[in-house]
Chain A
Amino acid sequence: MSTPAPATTRPLAAGRAVPTDRRRLYGLWIAAAVVLLALPHVIRTPVGVPIMNQMGIAIVFALSYNMLLGQAGMLSFGHAVYFGLGGFIAAHVLNLAGRGSLYVPVPLVPLVGGLGGLLAAAVLGSFSTARAGTVFAMISLGVAELMAASSLIFDRFFGGEEGITTNRAKAPLLFGLSFTKDREVYYLIAFWVLVAAAAMYAFSRTPVGRMANAVRDNPERAEFVGYSQRRVRFVSFCAAGLFAGVGGGLFAINYEILTAENMGLNASGAVLLMTYIGGIGYFVGPIMGAVVFTFLQSMLSDYTGIWLLYLGILFLATVLFVPTGLAGVLMLHAPAWRARRLPRLFGPYLLAAGLALVAAVGIVGLMEMVHFIASADASRGAKRLFWVSVAPRTVTPWLVFAALAAAGGLGLRWAAPRAAAAFVEASRPGPGR
């Protein structure tokens, strides 16, 4: 009979709340708050704060999406509807506040967005959540398409093609705090990210939050222990809509414009991508996914026109080979970390990573050259690739990149099993040495 692992090592797991357990949990949240406060001072590049703002909004959006996908097992292709509607309502309210018709200071606008998202989710969820699985996914798709088409009809609310603009500088002040500069908006977003994340985490620990997991695992059995699966899904749906709306409100404050695109299928697809890549089985998964996705999206799009293709490949690779996502991969190393054998993995991992990088450079190079030939006009002969000027219309670069890809790939075939073996060895239970 094996002894159970002590609860202190799983601060985010279920079970009896041991005092050290709770202290550790609060410690994590406080540490997160400290990190958020310090970030703008640490990262001082001019694009740093705008990107962090973007990440904050994405984090709230992705966390809200995981309330559906990871917690309740509901795959939605139209979650951006609630994000967008929350944003539109927030923008309109902010405009009204700016005109003096309503007293709503900027810090409360995300709350307005949340209420908007909640309302939309309650209305649309009343029929959407009747069924689960593929039918729910299809209904969510239908609703998203419906809203996209409706946005062209209801010009007044959606602002037609130009969308709705707003101005956070015109709103009434709260305690004299103004939010005109990016930095100031950052602190507001960071505040709301913390509040929203804490609320969503707390929700997952409530009776309905736990039953959402049960309904995800076995909806039939959940009914036989007294819970209507439809009701549980509906509550989860409304909660997810609420927090998506909060994200929309933050978006309205940050970008001061909302268009139908923000409600559309591409936005819904993006949140699915980032949440899944991050890992739907862990609370921190969507957070990691949102950060990575936003980072890649903003950084990569400066260097290449096919960044979405790379993200698509990353997504597909995650689905096929690493379905537990980034968070899952990290958590997989928990036993090795507990046994203090992580340093042993550095060598094999670095080797495998290096070879993977070589292969990646080769493949990326080939794809970028294809992209160049397909899209650039015939007059341009050269392209900057990996800090080197490359002429895709000649044979040499193709051979070079193909060789890199092949070499990296072959090397990886040799190095990957060794890394895997090292992992298994490091993870085996027993005293650390």
Chain B
Amino acid sequence: MTPALELENVHKAFGPTPIIRGVSLAIEAGTRQALIGPNGAGKSTLFNLVTGKYPVSSGRIRLNGEDITGQRPYEINRRGLSRSFQVTNIFPWLTVFENVRCSVLWALGYRYSFWHRVSRARDVQERTETVLEQLNLTARRHVPAGVLSYAEQRALEIGITIAGGADVVLLDEPTSGMSRSETEHVVQLIREVTAGKTLLMVEHDMGVVFGLADRIAVLVYGEVIAHDTPERIRANAAVQEAYLGVPQGAA
């Protein structure tokens, strides 16, 4: 079966410095997977390569079997892949409502039309309302996004990512900087909005990772050293050494 997302021997160097040193990864459709690794491993760079922000130095990237290597971010997004950002990347002067609405416009087929009125477009309004409810931001809909609290902004960040209905969702550290209770809310939100979709997320919070992920890929110094179920990752000695520190149960 064609994997939803496939990386084939992807390399990326910035000048003379190699960051991604030959990553081959296949993410099966409908699964929730996590990408973990120590700081500086290249996780965000990998996301940027997949979503078209940076060009690859070599290698291929395939989305649902189609080659998307070297395409622009909007081309990739239109094929059904969407990402969130580690550093909140919203539209600060638009209201919360408008933020989400901008994310559904292309997916609903409105393109560059100047003959529709967005406020009259039923489907746009309904989809936006639905997403806002999932994000629990309905009450804050008229607030300029730049004014929201950090946790609300992170929720909006996820909202913008999934509002368009992309099948493959990439979340970059969705719970970073959050308290315990905020994290629980966000995990619940992620579970809800990625039901039936393919999810790949970068995370440092191991509780979130082991709670959500079907499979985990471990990236160390630009290479994937393991890609397996959570239990086997836990037991993997190389992973423990590189990232998890002292193995569980040891003195």
Contact = CB atoms under 8 A, between A and B. Distances in A.
A384 interface: no
Nearest to B108: A207
A327 to B, nearest CB: 15
Contacts of B191: none
Contact of B114 (A208, A218, A225, A227): A208
Given A214-B91, A221-B91, A207 B111 contact: yes
A348 to B, nearest CB: 28
A226 interface: yes
Contacts of A211: 102, 105, 112
Contacts of B90: 218, 221
B12 to A, nearest CB: 19
Interface in A194-228: 202-203, 205-211, 213-214, 217-218, 220-228
Interface residues of B, number: 45
Interface stretch (B19-27, B72-80, B179-187, B232-240): B72-80
A5 interface: yes
Contact of A207 (B51, B85, B94, B118): B118
Interface string B51-76: 10100000000000000000011100
Interface string A1-36: 111110100100111110000000000000000000
B189 interface: no
B120 A4 contact: no
Given A208-B114, A210-B98, A223-B77, 5 more contacts: A2-B139, A3-B139, A208-B112, A213-B93, A218-B91
A224 B112 contact: no
Nearest to B110: A207
Contact of B97 (A15, A203, A231, A235): A15
B127 interface: no
B169 to A, nearest CB: 12
A207 B97 contact: no
Residue from A1, A217, A228 whose CB has the most chain B CB atoms within 10 Å: A217
Contacts of A2: 139
A17 B103 CA distance: 19
Contacts of B103: 225
B164 interface: yes
A412 interface: no
Given A224-B51, A225-B102, A227-B106, A206 B116 contact: yes
B94 A214 contact: yes
B168 interface: no
Closest 3 CB pairs of A and B: A226-B106, A207-B110, A217-B91
A393 B85 CA distance: 67
A225 B94 contact: no
A231 B72 CA distance: 13
B139 A1 contact: yes
A225 B77 contact: yes
Contact of B118 (A1, A7, A206): A206
Contacts of A121: none
Contacts of A223: 72-74, 77
A59 to B, nearest CB: 21
Given A15-B142, A211-B102, A226-B78, A221 B89 contact: yes
A224 B83 contact: yes
A214 B74 CA distance: 14
A324 to B, nearest CB: 12
Interface string B98-142: 100111011100111111111110000100000000000001111
A89 interface: no
A209 B142 CA distance: 19
Contacts of A15: 95, 97, 119, 141-142
